[in-house]
Amino acid sequence: MGIELLTGVLLLCILIAFVIGTPVGLALGGIAMAVGYGTWGEGIFNILPSTFESTLFSFILLAIPLYIYMGQLLTRSGIGDAMFNASQLIIGRVRGSLAISVVGVCSMIGAMVGIIGAGIMTSGSIALRPMLERGYDRRLALGVIMAGGGLGILIPPSVPMIMFAASTQNSVGRMFIAALVPALVTICLLVAYIVISCKLNPARAPMGTGKEASMSPQEQLRTLRDGLFSLLLIMAVLGSIVSGIATPTESGAIGVVGALILAFFFKRFRMGMFRMAGIETAMLVSVAMWIILGATLFSNFHLMMGVQDMVAGFTKDLGLPPLGVVILMQLIMLLLGFIIDEFIIVLMCAPLFTPIVVDLGFDPIWFGILMILNIEIAVQTPPYGFALFYLKGIAPPDVSMLDIYKSVTPFILLKLMVLVFCMLFPELVMWLPNLVMG
C-alpha cells in the first residue's frame, strides 16, 4: 500500500471513529495498530514497548498532572475569585474595566488549568455572572471570556507546550519564554479593542456598578493582598524555570505546594475541596495520557511508513517558498481544530511538521509557538471550533450559537493578526528566549 493511499485510509478511519463517538486515544492507537497489522503483519506490535516506555515514563510529561493539580487547587479554593477582584480594583474606574480584568484573570486561570476547555469553563463560571449582573453587553462578556480563557495555553505553564517539547525533543523552558512576548502582544490588542469599543459604545460597559466601589479601605487592602499572592505563585512557577532553579516538572511541584499554602493562608482549605481537586485531576490526567499514548502510536506508525517524505515531496511539487510551506501547515492545523482538540493536534502535527520546518531552515521553537497560536484560534473559530460549545454550556439558556459566533469573531481576528505578525517577524518570538537562554 502506497503512503498516499495509507494516509487516506488512516484519515478516513479516524473521521469515522470520531463520528461514531469512539474515545480519542482508543481511536488513534487502535486504528494505527489495525492498519499496521494489515500492512506489516505482527511486526507492527514491536513499536508498542518503546512507545509505552517513551510516553508513560517521560520525565517532561510528568509535569502535566502537577500543573493540572495546581490549577484545580487554585480554582476550587476560590483563589481565582481573589485574582478577579484584585484586578478589577487595580484597574479602577475605566469604562470596560471589568472586561479588561476578565481578560487578564481568565488568562491566568487558563494558564493554571492548562487546557482550553477547562480554562474557558472555569473562567466563565467565575466571570460571566458578575459581568452580566453589572449590565455589560452579553456579546462582550462572552467574547472576553472566550478570549481570556483560551489564551491560557499561550501563557506558561502550558500543557500543549510541554507536549510539543516532549514530542519534538525541544526545550520546555525556551518554549515557555518564547510565548511571553506573543502573549503580551495579544493581551494588549484585546485590551485596546475593549477600551476603544466601549468608548465608541458606552452602553456596552456601565461604570460604577460593582461591589468594589463600596469596599472599605480594609476590604480593599485584603482583596489586593489575596490577588497579589495568587499572582506571585504563578510568577514563581515560571521564574523557577527561567532562572534554572527548577525543571518544568519540579516547578509543577512548587506550584502544587504553593497552591496548598495559599489555600491554608487564605483559610480556604477544606477537605472536600482537596478531595474533589484530586479526583478531577486524576480524571483529566487519565484522559490526557490515553490520548497522548494513542496519538503517539498513530504518529510513530505514520512516520515509519514515510509520511514525512510524502509531505516534503508534496510541498516541493507545489513549488512553494519556505514560508509558503509554513502557511500551508497553518491552514491544515486550522482545519483540524474544527474536529479535534489541542492535545491531538499537537501530538499528530508536531512530529510530522517540525522536522520539515527545521529542514527549511526555521527554528523549531518559533514553529511551536505558531502552532500554539494556531490551535488557540482554530478551536474557537465558528462554526465548528469545539471550544464554542464549551462556551455555550456556561452561557445563559437564551444565548444562541449565533450570539456566540458574533461574540468571538472580533477577538478571533485580533489573535489571527498576532499569528500573522509572529509568522512574518520571527524576532517577536525568538528575541526573548535567545536573550535569556542564549
- Overall number of domains in the chain: 1
Of the candidates 33, 22, 1, the one whose C-alpha atom is nearest the C-alpha of residue 296 is: 33
Range with the poorest average pLDDT among 119-123, 240-244, 250-254: 119-123
The pLDDT of 395-422, averaged and rounded, is: 87
For 62, the 3-state DSSP assignment is coil
Assess if residue 395 is contained within a domain.
yes
Assess if residue 330 is contained within a domain.
yes
Count how many Cα atoms sit within 13 Å of the Cα of residue 317 in the half-sphere of its side chain: 6
The pLDDT of 279-283, averaged and rounded, is: 85
Assess if residue 53 is contained within a domain.
no
Domain extent, residue 381, equals 59-269+306-437
Assess if residue 128 is contained within a domain.
yes
The pLDDT of 102-116, averaged and rounded, is: 67
pTM for this one? 0.71
Query: Helices (H), strands (E): how many in the chain?
Result: 21, 0
> Rounded to a whole number, what is the distance in angstroms from the first to the last CA of the chain?
46
Distance of CA 78 to the CA centre of its chain: 22
The secondary structure of 289-327 as a DSSP string is HHHHHHHHHHHHHHHHTTHHHHHHHHHHHHT--HHHHHH
CB of 429 closer than 8 Å to CB of 211? no
The pLDDT of 350-377, averaged and rounded, is: 90
Assess if residue 288 is contained within a domain.
no
Assess if residue 38 is contained within a domain.
no
Q: Is the pLDDT of residue 272 over 60?
A: yes
Assess if residue 14 is contained within a domain.
no
The DSSP call for residue 244 is T
Give the C-alpha distances (Å, rounded to integers) separating 367 from 228, 252, 256, 426.
Answer: 34, 25, 30, 9
pLDDT of res. 24: 66
Assess if residue 287 is contained within a domain.
no
